[in-house]
Chains A and B, each alone.
Chain A
């Protein structure tokens, strides 16, 4: 059975006036364990809504989501989330932020220390372990958020446009770092983006979504070799994927 299964998920938001707005029409989704899947689409296509339903932060109007065979109703540590605006705790150091979830779940102190240390190392912030988020750059903050989300060894990592607020160079370095982490951890990743290149570069599968109402319109399997290097964006295959997705998004 697939790691993440969403069946017949729809989300209607009630509006101040008039009919409820359908953010997401009946949608099915299945993600295999260890896969890197991108949800790609314009604003308002319901990609973040779908992610939040799987994360347990938004309640779906219809349908069910199972993660690792378990029906989910609430947010939980089996689904790590990373948000666009980092949402770090400013009163905690880098180490404190990464350790936060472990402490909430009452892990033994020694183990908390070791796991957090390893993750901080993994995201390359060992020298900043005792700094507060205030002094970190956007890219560094997002690395802390990724380490924090990975600390509880989630079955799936849900990422909502995590690099959307970063500049182009930092974003490209973060994409490489994320692929590197994913290659080591083999955590299932569901990654929301509106950037076509980002989706093709990162993913095994790109699910293209469309608006009015939000739904999945196409499922691309990206057959580019791994590990992927930055040059891959210049390849003929890459260009072909981009052309197809672009024409889908334009219609």
Chain B
């Protein structure tokens, strides 16, 4: 643009130059133009500065009006139509004058342009300046903001010392030495004060940590001492044990329970739950109520310790065995063989006893409680404590624990569960281990989820332990008394105490010649009557002891089978008779024998409690008396034609007894009652 303008300028200058200096050679002119234009431009620039726009506008307006006037003049001249020279000339002059005016216009235009340009430049400069100022301003603002932030940060800064709990100021001044507190300095300056307090805190902490270390060391020392002493004590134990070991013979000799009690306690921990319950219950009862009983745990401690693991492996083996047997189904023979063995193993395994058992000593009988792990029942067996000379051991033990509670024979497992565990085999073999009486299960806390086959009413009693123990004691006491009675009977003695003897005449001729224990089967073979009696009474033969007695008077032999209940003398014995004298007479074919049996079995005299055990003797004595009576009455009836068993002419026995009436009633009964006062034999 500037080039263009320059060219224009140069042209204009050229024109000017042409106008002004037409005659100058071109080169010089060109140079001169160049120079001139250059100068001119500088001049013009200066001119622009010097001149004002208003003036130029005025000039422009004057010029324009001049031009206009000239134009108008020319027009008027031309319109006048004067073609004379003068006019022509006048027009020409006027024309020139106007053209010259154009130069002025041009100049004005140029100056205007320059002025515009100049104004523009100044505006631009100013604008740039403003921009830079603005930028500067923004920078400064940013800096201010940043600084403010920094200030905030600084203000928000937290020092660690704020977390430290310091002693209160008063205390600090009171305790800290002046070297640290520096009272005059710190009183006024909070910062200094804080620093001083921190320093004091630090001092104190150093001191305390020192103290702590000291104490720690003391503790260490003490614990070392303790371990040392412990070691000493530990080394003492084997020595004490060995001492204890060596005192054992002495303990045994002096019957001291010291070690035994300790050992028992250790064993008690190893007991299976049911036995433990049983043990603890009875033990507690003994301590509380009845020190005459003794209870102990028998069995090896090591066995018991080992038992748990061993038992488990045993089970596994069997399971494995069964599994393998099942997998071998194809080889049938093999399987059969195996299953048989596994069955056998199963039963043996089912009857596994826990190695520990509880031994309860009641009076002179030892009762053992053992626990069959798999069947989950407690079995009981018993034996006398020591042999007693001349007394049949079997009589003491046989049936001793049967029917302590009604219907509790211990014949089969009380748990229904066991019914399904190879019943036949199990039930058969349980006896080898003992009998699973219901009361024992109850004592051991086994209720089989309430599915006990039969629950005797007594089991509902809350003081069950006492009930059982009392029942056991009674049973055992009576059994020992009974055994003594049996012993006498075996000798054929029918001795009674004074009171009981008074109910009998002084002389009885019949004698008990034999008394022997027997068995159910044996008695059944001997006497058919017995079966009928047993059927009628619905007694389980297992709740009875069977004895055979023979009573004789000369040729008359009375055979009696005695059924003694296990709970004798609480239940009365029952006899079944057979008289061998001029034929065989029994209940079936003779009302006399039936009457005799009824007299012995039914009318049981109430004996005083201390002589209760003599009931059997009383019954036997009655039999001897009745045999006397029968034989004599029979003789008397023979004489009187009343019908007799004897076929010979003279009665075998003479009438010695005082009998006012031999026979009475449509059933032709013999007298049975002995009136001790008058010595008469009377009908009931």
A and B are interacting partners:
no
Binding site for A on B (CB under 8 A): none
